[in-house]
Structure 1
Amino acid sequence: MTARKKHVAVLMGGWSAEREVSLVSGAAVAKALEEEGYTVTAVDVQRDLDGIIKALTPKPDVVFNALHGRGGEDGTIQGVLEFMGIPFTHSGVLASAIAMDKAMTKRVLETVGVRSPKGMLLHKGELLGGGHPMEPPYIIKPVDEGSTVGVTRVHQGQNSPIGDGWTFGERVLVEEFIPGRELTAGVMGDKPLAVTEIQFAAELFDYTAKYTAGHARHIIPAPIPEAVYAEAMRVAVLAHQTLGCRGVSRSDFRWDDSKPGIEGLYFLEINNQPGMTPLSLVPEQAAHVGISYGALVSWLVENAACQHA
């Protein structure tokens, strides 16, 4: 007798700044899971707890969490799924909450020797009205947004790092700008996938460059020294394990190639729920090591978990 394939509810959309990207990720995941033989229900998540519970009643076997940003990656929806006792893909409540908070991630990973750019956490009011917290150029970023939303490079001569229109929360992470090249390394389970170099014409690997075809070039494997490649994969796994991530994650780096050896490699942040769009990096890295998109999403479903299931 053929075993029944699981019923998977794919959560997508949400209410964060990354809603549109999540819808694309979720649609791709749902299509692939159907092709793999799963029974799939797509759920466009709104900021409505009753609605979420109703959409997940009766309970599916597994929830595939394709949400991005606040509410979807920060432990919020993970807490709801734990309460309901439904196994779900990707990281649990605590790992998600820490990984989404860039400043807390830096503090935790510093304890295991992970080097990140020098920085400070400030209230947005401290950045309004002029004055620089450090010598430009430097980077300012929201402490709990993804997809480079709100990330800005501040140059010498700018009067104020941010304006009154800042809408990304009260806390702002300020970091030194690391010149050089953009690298990213994916992790699946407890094993690294690959390191990709991302080349782009814009000043930063921003939202447009990430999600618009033709705005960035992914080079895999990254054409970098073997020692730097190996160190990026080692740190990506270390970050994944230290934060307690589950499923897949992706760690982003800057590499100052003017420095010898691995001295110029700096960890930037971890994405505990990487994008699954056609342009996304983790599916591309999985394919590079022989894992198809369908096999990747199936693996995530089969490795879903819930402490209180």
Structure 2
Amino acid sequence: MTLPKLHVAVLMGGWSAERPVSLMSGEGVAKALESKGHRVTRIDMDRDVALKLAEAKPDVVFNALHGTPGEDGTVQGMMDLMGLTYTHSGLATSVIAIDKELTKQALVPHGVPMPGGRVVKCAEIHERDPLPRPYVLKPVNEGSSVGVAIVTAEGNYGNPIAREAKGPWQEFEELLAEPYIRGRELTTAVIADKALLVTELKPKSGFYDFDSKYTDGMTEHVCPAEIPDEIAQACKEIALRAHRLLGCKGTSRSDFRWDDTQGVEGLFLLEVNTQPGMTPLSLVPEQARACGMDYPELVEAIIAEALSDRAAADAARTSRAS
């Protein structure tokens, strides 16, 4: 789809823990669009976001928000009510995908391999471990590895976990507890209903946390990953299946852990990110570039799908009315 010159509102910032990442993503997107001759209105989301969008009257909104409320269906519902065309996934998909437990309920019955575990009240973990160690504790609805803790057999947070130990239990009322999967960190992007490549992430220290993701030099990206063909193919098949089952639009990124001693049986999907980062260190632009698509082309491809979906929806409504 060849794009005409458009007026695009780039929605960025907000007030989630991922605000700095969103600002970097949004500015990158805005500059890419301007390089292609589009008119851009930058909107740093605040409580007056609906008024700002109404005043801007864009042809399309590029949603570069990360975390809540820009990725959990809240902003999507607002834009639906306003009749705006916007990029990335819609309300229902966003509500499910931001919630790791709802994502499991949507995908596991369809054969998508995901870790077991359960949601626990933080008060409980100071009395007893919810799972055998080692295990992982993470917020149910945050991205970018915000608030993730790995609880090891050595009792790095105390045994049981001490209330005064620094960790996500001090910030959230409940957490998702999952078995720790040893091995390697892999990720696959889907753009316009096509799985791209597999990237392996090798943090220089610790695990692939927020700092490792967004600090230059802290993580080595191996793209494409140096893994057996059957694992690469499994990652792409699972990522595309999850993208379709959840109803994702534009682009998504599926994150995996792979226990390389177990072959394909050791591969588990951790989560599906419906609005992956678009920063200089982000994984989706990197995979797109490795497939021959530069950054401005990637941005336009995401917008093109949003416009195509809107045109199809309008045509369907017209057909039903006639």
1:256, distance to aligned residue in structure 2 (A)? 0.3
Q: Is the 8 A contact 1:142 1:168 kept in 2?
A: no
Task: Provide the C-alpha distance between the structure 2 equivalents of 1:61 and 1:294, rounded to a whole number of angstroms.
Answer: 18
Q: Is the 8 A contact 2:192 2:301 kept in 1?
A: no
CA distance in structure 2 between the aligned counterparts of 1:68 and 1:37, rounded to whole angstroms: 26
Per the alignment, residue 297 of structure 2 pairs with 295
| Structure 1 unaligned blocks of 5 or more | none
Shift of 1:217: 0.5
Q: Distance in 1 between matches of 2:176 and 2:103?
A: 12
Aligned to 1:206: 209
Indicate whether 1:142 and 2:139 are aligned: yes
Shift of 1:122: 1.3
Report the counterpart of residue 173 of structure 1 in structure 2. Answer: 176
2:99–2:140 contact (8 Å) kept in structure 1: yes
Aligned residue type for 1:37:
G
The normalised TM-score by structure 2 is: 0.90
How many aligned positions are there? Answer: 302
Deviation for aligned residue 1:144: 0.3
Aligned partner letter, 2:146: V
The structure 2 residue matched to 1:101, chosen from 99, 102, 114, is 99
| Structure 2: runs of 5 or more not aligned | 318-322
Distance 2:220 2:118 in 1: 31
1:228 aligns with 2:226: no
State the 1:8 CA deviation.
0.3
SS at match of 1:187: strand
| Offset from partner CA, 1:187-221 (integer Å, 9 cap, x none) | 01211011000001232200000000000010011
Matched with 1:22 is: 22
Equivalent in the alignment of 2:272: 270
> Is the Cα contact below 8 Å between 1:43 and 1:55 reproduced in 2?
yes
Runs of 4+ residues deviating >3 angstroms: 160-169, 305-309
* 1:27-47 Cα shifts (integer Å, max 9, x gaps): 10000000011100000001x
Q: Aligned pair in 2 of structure 1 residues 17, 109: CA closer, same or farther (>3 Å)? A: same
Distance 1:107 1:4, change over 3 A: closer
Secondary structure (helix, strand or coil) at the match of 1:111 reads helix
* Deviation at residue 163 of structure 1 after TM alignment: 3.5
Report 1 or 2 for greater relative contact order, CA contacts < 8 Å, sequence distance ≥ 6: 1
Q: 1:61 aligns with which of 56, 59, 62?
A: 59
Bigger fraction of residues in helix: 2
Aligned-partner SS, 1:74: coil
Q: Alignment partner of 1:204: what SS?
A: coil
% same residue: 50
Is residue 188–residue 195 contact of structure 2 (8 Å, CA) maintained in 1?
A: yes
TM-score by length of 1: 0.94
Q: What do you get for the CA RMSD once the two structures are aligned?
A: 1.6
